Amino acid sequence: MLSRHHRDPAAFPRLLLATLAVLLLWPGIRLAELNPGVLFDPAVSRSTGAFLAGFWPPAHDQDFLALLWDATLQTLAIATAGMFLALMLAVPASLLASRALSLSAASIGAQPGWLGTCVRWPVRGVLIFLRSVPEIVWALLFVRAVGLGPTAGVLAIAITYAGMLGKVYAEIYESVDQRPAQAMMRAGAGRLAAFAYGTLPAAAAELMSYTVYRWECAVRASVVMGFVGAGGLGQQIDLSMRMFASAEVASILLTFIVLVLFADLLSRVLRGRFT
């Protein structure tokens, strides 16, 4: 009697869920052809070890540092220009896609009107299309179209990130307290004015933090796209890896760490300003 009272009623469902998760994930590991044993193969660990041993000291001669500086600036420029173009598309799209600006829903307990819904769905569809194709694929397409160089990277980031930013912005608008904006719409204010006065003050910190995080992602993405010829640090790391110049790879990786650290600091400062 006592033991039945003390038994946790959640224990059995938890055990069941855990077993189910393992059963479902195991075939995934087989499908991914993951074999951790390969890491401990003596031949593999010898070549990896030799490459890693060359990491210290990182390359720091004058010529390479100048090269690294240029590549870093180019990567930052690709990421920033891409983000700027993405924002030009994402901000209007997010306003169109978000239910937070629905005038019909401003009445208490009312749903968005059918006309607004008819506009929101196609915009959502466009955003889904933009972000469902990975940026590396866009980059390959644009390298064909506009040739090798940073332009392809900028355009690829602009398109994919417009899709991501637009979707997440629209959801952030919906996730903050709707009452201030709705109260203003019920006092006769237009959608955009109500948005600027009612939604933006609450959403600003979240928007800022997500935008800086995405900029950080864009820096990384521009590096990856460098491998397919879109310039910047990626192209540099690709060259260094092909030449087995471990010291140069180490320097470039350190540069990445510094860039991400910088993005993190920027995000913290901006968040502090907006909360």
Partner 1 sequence: MTLRLTAVDLRHRNGVQALRDVHLSIAAGERVAIIGPSGAGKSSLLNVLATALQPSVGELALLGVQPWQLSSRARQRLRSRIGLIHQAPPLPPRQRVVTAVLAGKLGQWGLGKSLLNLLHPVDTAGAHALLARLDLDDKLFAQCQQLSGGQLQRVGIARALYQQPELLLADEPVSAMDPRLARHTLDLLCQHASEQRVTLVASLHTVELALACFPRIIGVRDGQIAFDLSAAEVTPQRLDDLYANAQLSRAPTSADTATPWLPRC
Pick from 10, 108, 118, 257 the residue near partner 1 by CB under 8 A: 108
From the list 227, 216, 230, 225, the residue with the least C-alpha distance to 259 is 216
Stretch that binds partner 1, among 43-51, 155-163, 198-206, 249-257 (CB under 8 A): 198-206
Between the CA of residue 227 and those of 77, 130, 140, 223, what are the distances in Å?
A: 17, 22, 10, 7
H helices present in the chain, as ranges: 2-6, 11-31, 42-53, 62-97, 114-132, 135-146, 150-175, 179-186, 191-194, 200-226, 233-242, 246-274
Pick from 89, 97, 194, 218 the residue near partner 1 by CB under 8 A: 194
* Residue 273 in contact with partner 1, rule: CB under 8 A: no
* Residue 190 in contact with partner 1, rule: CB under 8 A: yes
* Residue 175 in contact with partner 1, rule: CB under 8 A: no
d(CA 197, CA 180): 8
Helix H or strand E segment including 56: none
* Residue 107 in contact with partner 1, rule: CB under 8 A: yes
* Residue 179 in contact with partner 1, rule: CB under 8 A: yes
* Residue 109 in contact with partner 1, rule: CB under 8 A: yes
Stretch that binds partner 1, among 28-36, 88-96, 106-114, 142-150 (CB under 8 A): 106-114
* Residue 272 in contact with partner 1, rule: CB under 8 A: no
* Residue 28 in contact with partner 1, rule: CB under 8 A: no
d(CA 42, CA 101): 62
* Residue 188 in contact with partner 1, rule: CB under 8 A: yes
**Owner of token pair 């993005």:** 263
Q: Which parts of this chain interact with partner 1 (CB under 8 A)? A: 103-104, 106-110, 177, 179-180, 182-190, 192-194, 196-198, 201-202, 204, 274-275
